[in-house]
Chain A
Amino acid sequence: MKKKEFAAYVAPSVVLMALVILVPLVFIVYLSVQDVRLGGQSAEFAGLANYVETLKNPRFWNALRNTLLYVGVSVPSQVVLGFIVALLLNRVSAIKGFLVGGSLLPHILTPVVAALLVSWLFRSQLGFYTYLLAKVGINIQWYADRTAAKFLLIIYEIWKNTPFAVLVLYAGLRSLPDEPYEAAIVDGASWIQRLRHITIPLMGPLFIFVALMRTMDAYRIFDNVYVMTGGGPGTATELMTYYNYAVAFNQLDLGRGSAIGVLTVVGILILLGPFVYRVYRRQLEGS
């Protein structure tokens, strides 16, 4: 394909992305150095004041810590649990379609709806899971206790998005080559040995892929915070995007909201940039 032809084919997509992604990106950087209210008419140049204010604010660091805890607990759990379920699926043969489809459902469900479903089950007294836990002597106030509320969001994340890990890893298991296993069985290797020395190393890139995709989405999660806890109790469950939203749309401070947005992007690029490059390098170079 010639360069001119290539340009014509990608033009609609590129123009669209430039207008809707790149222009707002420039605009938000501009807004972040302005003293501007949401919906306000006038803006005044503020230099780096919004950034300084943000970095000095303990609520920003609280949101960052909460986000890192959310990502740090849920993503590894999803990879491990997802791998276990994928191994189980790979072991059985009957009603496979139902098992795979059923596993998929929470992941594909509208996040707001999924958050509502989980939130009902954990309500104090009237929630069914709260009730079951109380029956076995575990009394947790999921919405009033600061630590419990953080983990309530993490439970949602694990329930909703572990299926992604299951699906990717199961598809990976099914496409593994047979030869190394045949050789290992001849050598008398046990199941555990085969798992450790063949399966896990071969699946390595997929573990990284799953962790990468989940980190990307968990880092910017918003819907469950909004629906389930509203960031509370206090600011215990305020994650980055929710905090950003609150500053811009509750405190109506568009300038500072924009600064937080810019910092969030810088954060994700630092966190994931090197990984993205590593994971996709082969595909990119293969092109």
Chain B
Amino acid sequence: MLIESRKLRSLATVGAYIALAVWMVWSLFPVVWALLTSLKQVVDAFAMPPKWMFTPTLRWYKELWLERSFPQFLMNSFIISGGTVLVSVPVGAVAAYALSRYRGRVGFALLLTALIFRMFPRILFVLPFYNIGRMTGLYGTRILIIIIMVAINQPFTIWLLRSFFLDVPTSLEESAMVDGCSRFGALWRIVLPVIRPGLIATAIFALFLSYNNFLIPLVLTTLDTQTLPVAISQYGAEDIRYWALSAAGAVSIALPIVFIVALAQRYLVRGLTFGAVKG
């Protein structure tokens, strides 16, 4: 009886591995396919049945990075997403800290409002800011994109960081304050170091949000401030001659993300769940 059930269990485990293998192929194949395409010559790129064996070439990456303006777009993406992180984490952190320590109706209302803002479609910001941008001369500037990104990321930042602050017992900073530390000093020196993983997770998500966003820079940037997603969306997906080139672009854009996920996976689960599940 016991042996029977043990057999059954190991059979179930084997089955689980097989099913997960299928799941992984389904999840990862499109990325692998793009990588292969980006290394092929034009004739091989759209040969069907596909050529699995081919002489790889780096010409598309060369064209992208040396002959086209991809470095410029990378720089724009880098400035915009970096700027978003640098502003949104500190601003969000002080607010989230206060929201975790203050028990009043205003705090409740603020959290609820932030949650409602989180639901708003982005097109809502794009339409008015097109006009506001033209009126103020901010249209097409990276600073305008950064401001919008920081603001639409605030609800997420506040909720996520608040969930980390709630885990820190208030006695920690209170004892520091008894010792003559100001509240801000206690936050800076005692509390923030404790929630470092939370700050890292929040920063990564702010980075992704800003780096990945498409609609906002699509409408509000000009050619010289374009970000990577906007740039690649213009590389004619219909024209098969550009397939391999677009694939090289897609892989280039994905690479930093793959790198961060591989490096910082453990910080991401709680962030993905908006602080609802402690990963």
Interface residues of A (CB under 8 A from B): 1, 3, 5-6, 9-10, 12-14, 16-17, 19-21, 23-25, 27-28, 31, 38-39, 85, 88-89, 91-92, 97, 99-114, 116-121, 125-126, 128, 131, 159, 163-164, 167-168, 171-172, 175, 206, 209, 213, 216, 219-220, 222-223, 226-227, 240-241, 244-245, 248-249, 254, 257-258, 261, 264-265, 268-269, 272-273, 276-277, 280, 284, 287
Contact = CB atoms under 8 A, between A and B. Distances in A.
Given A24-B124, A245-B215, A268-B120, 19 more contacts: A3-B102, A6-B102, A6-B104, A31-B131, A88-B16, A92-B16, A102-B27, A104-B265, A105-B28, A105-B31, A106-B31, A108-B268, A110-B212, A113-B250, A117-B250, A206-B276, A209-B273, A241-B122, A277-B112
Contacts of A206: 276-277
B1 interface: no
Contacts of B230: 112
Given A5-B98, A9-B94, A13-B92, A118 B122 contact: no
A285 to B, nearest CB: 8
A105 B261 CA distance: 8
A112 B128 contact: no
Contact of B116 (A167, A220, A276): A276
Given A27-B131, A99-B20, A109-B257, A220 B95 contact: no
Given A6-B107, A241-B123, A159 B27 contact: yes
Tell me which of A31, A175, A223 has the highest count of chain B C-beta atoms within 10 A of its own C-beta: A223
Given A113-B254, A222-B215, A269-B116, A89 B127 contact: no
B132 interface: yes
B111 interface: yes
Interface string B138-154: 00000000011011101
A254 B127 contact: yes
Contacts of A249: 219
B49 to A, nearest CB: 7
Main secondary structure of the interface of A (DSSP, over half): helix
B110 A10 contact: yes
A168 B268 CA distance: 11
Nearest to A279: B276
Main secondary structure of the interface of B (DSSP, over half): helix
B188 to A, nearest CB: 12
A91 B33 CA distance: 29
Contacts, number: 280
B73 interface: no
Contacts of A128: 33, 48, 50
B75 interface: no
A5 B99 CA distance: 11
Given A113-B232, A171-B279, A268 B119 contact: yes
A103 to B, nearest CB: 6
B277 A175 contact: yes
A190 to B, nearest CB: 11
A257 B211 contact: no
Given A261-B121, A261-B123, A284-B112, A24 B132 contact: yes
Given A5-B183, A117-B250, A27 B128 contact: yes
Contact of A119 (B104, B237, B262): B237
Given A24-B128, A110-B211, A172-B277, A10 B48 contact: no
A9 B128 CA distance: 29
Contacts of A20: 125, 147-148, 150-152
